[in-house]
Amino acid sequence: MAGHDGAAVVVADDLTRVFGEGDTAVAALRGVGVEIPAGRLTAVMWPSGSGKSTLMHILAGLDKPTSGTVHIAGTEITALGDTALTKLRRRHIGFVFQFFNLLPMLTARENILLPLSIAGDRPDTAWVEDLVQRVGLADRLRHRPAELSGGQQQRVAIARALVSRPTVVFADEPTGNLDSASSGEILELMRTSVEAFGQTTVMVTHDAQAAAMADQIFFLADGKIVQRLPRSNRHDILAAIENLNVR
Amino acid sequence: MIRFALRGLLARKFRTVLTALGVVLGVALVSGTFVLTDSISTAFDSIFKETYRNADAAITGKSAFSLGSDSTTGPPSFDQSLLKTVTALPEVGSAGGSVNGDAHLIGEDGKSIAFGGAPNLGFSVNPALPQFNALSLVSGAWPGAGEVVIDKSTADKKDLSVGQSIGVQARGPVQRLRISGIVEFGGVSSIGGATIAGFDLATAQRLFGKQGRLDEILIAAAPEVTPQQLVASVQKMLPPGTQVRTASEQASKDASNTTSFISFLQSFLLAFGGIALFVGSFVIANSLSITIAQRSREFATLRTLGASRRQVLRSVILEALTVGAAASVVGLLLGLALAKGLFKLFDAVGLTLPNNGLVFQARTVITALLVGTVVALLASLRPALRATRVPPIAAVREGAKLPPGRFHRYRGVGAAVVIAAGFAALLVGLFVSGLGTPAVLTLMLGGALLVFVGVAIFSSRLVRPLAAAANPVARWSVVALSALVWPLFTLPFWMIRYGVWGPGPAGRRVGAFLLGSLLNPLVLVVVLLMALRRGVTRWQPEWPAEFPGVLAERSATQIGGENSRRDPQRTAATAAALMIGLALVTLVAALAAGIIKPFEDAVDAIFTADYAITAQNNFDPIPVSAAAAAAKTPGVESIASVRTGDGQVFGKTIQVTAVDPQASDVFSLDWVHGSQAVLGQLGADGAVVSDGYADDHDLTIGSPIAVRTPTGTTLDLKIAGVFHPPPGGSPFGTVTISSSRFDQNYEQPRNLYTFVRMRGGVTDANTSALNASLDSFPNAKAVTREQFKENQINGVKTILNVLYVLLALSVVVSIIGIVNTLVLTVFERTRELGMLRAIGMTRRQTRRMIRHESVVTALIGAALGIVLGLVLAGLLSARLDFVEFVLPVPQLIAFAVVSLVVGVLAAVLPARRAARLDPLKALQYE
């Protein structure tokens, strides 16, 4: 929970990422710099293939950039070893995945508490209860993922990401595998977490409706940030995309 | 995290159980071995304790040197006047003397009663001194002159009762005695199948040819005298050739032979438990690697949630430990059942072991649990390390592949180094002289393990070419196999099912049903069970739409063949498990053939007589009077016997053999010094030795050689001849002397074999004449050379069968390994299978595809195993003189067929699972 509202908690500077070597080399990022302000929802968007997933992987320390730096809560993470990164993940990073990535053999409750048990922390009961109420899972806690709908599974995943109150939550296409009704609920929930808990969140999406929930939107194309919008409605976002396509 | 590991196991119950089975079987054999050997040794202990129940000390004859462990000569007897002297001592409360020896009871068929190689015990009993009598009467009375008591178990089995007369043969011809009573030994109805005959002292002395002599005196101390004081006072007046021990010393002395037998049996069986566990560890390691590859997304997710590599490692190891511990518990319990099975197995091959009930010691529990758990732990290390290498980013990447390990590049080289090190250890163990037995065993065992592991690692490189070669073999051999079982299995199955559920006119269906049930009634039961299941669960059997064919379908087998090459490492690891079992089976078969061949050659070379006279069981010594009786047969031209006993030469205990003068006429040997005639001219001081022994001790014609007999006499002999024994061995011991000299110096001489040459050679008339003169020696039989060879080889074959049964266990474990891999593969390829089904692959094609993959894997294992087994056999036969390298062709063909069947059987269950997949669900499977 580093930084007060608006201060940058994740800072990326001049990131490049090249896949492959020689003739087959493809640059997914070519000099990207972003600042993620605390307590806000930031969206990274573009229809596809622009390297936005790569950007998120690097910001979250899952992948290493070819050059450039990433700071999370003041720590430069691109040079960290595996142990240091693991510790960083425990304290500072939460994930929400497109395919939920719940562990099928654990109940919803156990899945939610998993990050705490991995880190060896005692759950803060009041906080967990509050969280469970907020995500609307109070009556489904004993169920296994296979017994939950897609939307419910994603709620479990969100609760799991929030439970350790990380510095930043990264959400990778969180609505990409859901129908529109469930998508709406999930986006609502993410917005709530930002407003109610001040949870800094970075969301990668190609969905304008999702981007409309964000406090700021980065547009990524050809490995570069081509535009930044403040909070906008769906119409403005689509217009911006249209505009960029024409250009 | 603990919960993650344990719940994971529960979620994959079926796979977990399959994985654990290898350990279950290995641990079962280990714990079964302990239960078996503990039971035997407890039974023996109670037998020996019972013998000396009320005695404080025992006097026995003392041989001049310690006898060989397989000696047929017992300690010498002593004069019975000693009993009076001892009884007169003030420290002695009471004393009783006895004689003992082999006493065959003769059944109604005129043959010696024997149960599975167990001894035929005979001894004198003295009802006046019940404190020294380990027997207790069940019915009847103690024996008087001309009477015998026999054990209850023999009486029950042969339907003998008090008052009947029975033939008894000890030293001389059969004597008829009256059964005066039925007895039990120390309250135990059977001591390992041994027959017991008890006589009064005078009868026993007469039967055993020990008139006026005793074998043992048991002494109870006078009140207030300790056993040590008793021994000390008896010691003072002992004549030479006797010794006294406290009863407990004597009991443990008596037990020492059985103790070494039991510990041999234990190591022998544990070795097979070890092999099964070794194979089982391959199965575990392989299954874990596969499941870990399949669960890489789970591990990656854990990593993104902050799990460290160490935590991932721990969770995998915990999983393995849990499986190992649970499997060990099950294996332990199974071991109890197995111990019973082993008793039966040994009984079936003619080695009845004493059993007073199974003994389950704490040591068994601890060892079994520890061994199973540790094996599982070791097997999990590599897969666990692989799991730690799953990068967190695999959580978001579809189909992320595990990065190859740091040492992946050196895999081929590393495997080659391991194989080379293994062979080096084997060669050193085999060919470097001067190493102790433990060092040799360690080197051989370690070398073999290294070779197996090395070949297993290296074989992933061989999978592609081998699979390509195995492909057509697998296809056509399965076709051949199907064609063989088709009329008896597939056809009736189809007919009965068609009759029950098929469309078409009723008459045709009834006809098909009847014909099918007639062809194979067993299949009828299967189909009826299917009908029952349909009734209960409303399961819809598929129509037997197409008529069952046997021809291979290229498309299905082609995909199957490709699949087996897709992940060479997985196929190699699966095949490796089978490879180990087959390598050992091949080794055993090749060695057996390699032992039998030179033995047959040796018999053909040496045995120039027409008949041999041996014991009914082919190896027991027989009384010399049998040979004397045979010599009187009309038509005998020459007859010579080989006697055997222990002697001491150059400070070492060796086997002394003795031959009759006519030996020169019934044997043919290859002489280095001297000639064939020497055998007939040994006289009082002639001796014959083999060339190897002569070289070792610098002996040549005329060299003096001194042989000490167990009674302490020294025979001063001169070398009269040196012969070169064939590689298959000779009937002669280290030193061979004349039988007249032997008989003067050895108590109770007995013949190992007698060889006879008859006028006219082998004819029916000669055979019956010879057998007629052996009538009163039921334990002896006359056999021709071919029968002799066959009888002697039967022993090797029996051992071979025991080895096959025990090695079959490791083959079973490797079948489980193949099943396991295939099941996991089917899980992994669910989507792919769904796609294949969706584009029109039939269920049967799916089954064929999986089966083909299985057969190819099994054939790869067989090829590797057979080659490796032959290489090992080649090494051993190069080292061992009495083993030749012989290719056991029929056995090898049998093994190849067995592996084929293994492949087919292993695929049954996974193929069913694959065929049952609902294409729609399979395509959505994640």
Q: Which residue has the higher pLDDT, B542 or B278?
A: B278
pLDDT value at residue B406: 60
Alpha carbons within 13 angstroms on the beta-carbon side of residue B158 total 26
| Preferred mutation among B7, B291, B304, B398 to probe A, highest tally of A CBs within 10 A | B304
Quick one: pLDDT band at residue A3, thresholds 50, 70, 90?
very low
Residue (of B129, B137, B147) closest to B216 by Cα position: B129
Average pLDDT of the residues in B485-493: 82
The owner of tokens 């979250």 is: A60
Point out the residue among A62, A104, A117 whose CB comes nearest to the CB of B393: A62
pLDDT at B274 over 70: yes
- Measured between alpha carbons, how far apart are the two ends of chain A, in Å? 40
Contact state of A86 with B11 under an 8 Å Cβ cutoff: no
Q: How far is CA B443 from CA B429, B432, B434, B438, B440, in A?
A: 5, 11, 13, 8, 5
Point out the residue among B298, B309, B391 whose CB comes nearest to the CB of A103: B298
Contact state of A63 with B393 under an 8 Å Cβ cutoff: yes
> Domains, chain A, ranges and CATH?
39-57+81-246 (3.40.50.300)
Per CB-CB distance under 8 Å, the chain B contacts of A160 are: 305
Average pLDDT of the residues in B333-356: 79
Per CB-CB distance under 8 Å, the chain A contacts of B3 are: 106, 110, 117
Contact state of A118 with B307 under an 8 Å Cβ cutoff: yes
Average pLDDT of chain B?
A: 85
A177 touches chain B (CB under 8 A): no
pLDDT at B874 over 50: yes
B307 touches chain A (CB under 8 A): yes
pLDDT value at residue B925: 63
pLDDT at B924 over 70: no
B294 touches chain A (CB under 8 A): no
Per DSSP, chain B holds a count of helices (H) and strands (E) of 28, 25
Tell me how close the Cα of B381 comes to any Cα of chain A, in angstroms. Answer: 20
Per CB-CB distance under 8 Å, the chain A contacts of B305 are: 89, 95, 114-115, 118, 160
Residue (of B543, B456, B423) closest to B494 by Cα position: B543
Beta strands across the sheet bearing A75-76: A26-37, A8-19, A67-72, A75-76
- Cβ(A123)–Cβ(A110) below 8 Å: no
pLDDT value at residue A1: 42
| Preferred mutation among A52, A55, A105 to probe B, highest tally of B CBs within 10 A | A105
> Within chain A, what is the greatest distance between any pair of CA atoms?
56
List, as one string, the DSSP characters of B418-454. Answer: HHHHHHHHHHHHHH-TT--HHHHHHHHHHHHHHHHHH
pLDDT value at residue B863: 93
**Measured between alpha carbons, how far is B197 from B199 in angstroms, rounded to an integer?**
7
User: Which amino acid does the sequence have at B18?
Assistant: L
Contact state of A98 with B396 under an 8 Å Cβ cutoff: yes
pLDDT at A35 over 70: yes
pLDDT at B11 over 90: no
Q: How far is CA B5 from CA A106, B318, B391, in A?
A: 10, 7, 19
Average pLDDT of the residues in B569-585: 88
Quick one: pLDDT band at residue B893, thresholds 50, 70, 90?
very high
Helix axes B463-485, B843-879, angle to 10 degrees: 110
Quick one: pLDDT band at residue A169, thresholds 50, 70, 90?
very high
Q: Give residue-wise pLDDT tens across range B225-270.
A: 888 888 888 888 888 888 899 888 888 887 777 788 888 888 888 8
Quick one: pLDDT band at residue A246, thresholds 50, 70, 90?
low
pLDDT value at residue B485: 80
A42 touches chain B (CB under 8 A): no
Per CB-CB distance under 8 Å, the chain B contacts of A104 are: 11
3-state helix, strand, coil in chain B (%, to 5): 60, 15, 25
pLDDT at A38 over 80: yes
pLDDT at B9 over 80: no
**Measured between alpha carbons, how far is B826 from B821 in angstroms, rounded to an integer?**
9
Point out the residue among A98, A101, A172 whose CB comes nearest to the CB of B301: A101
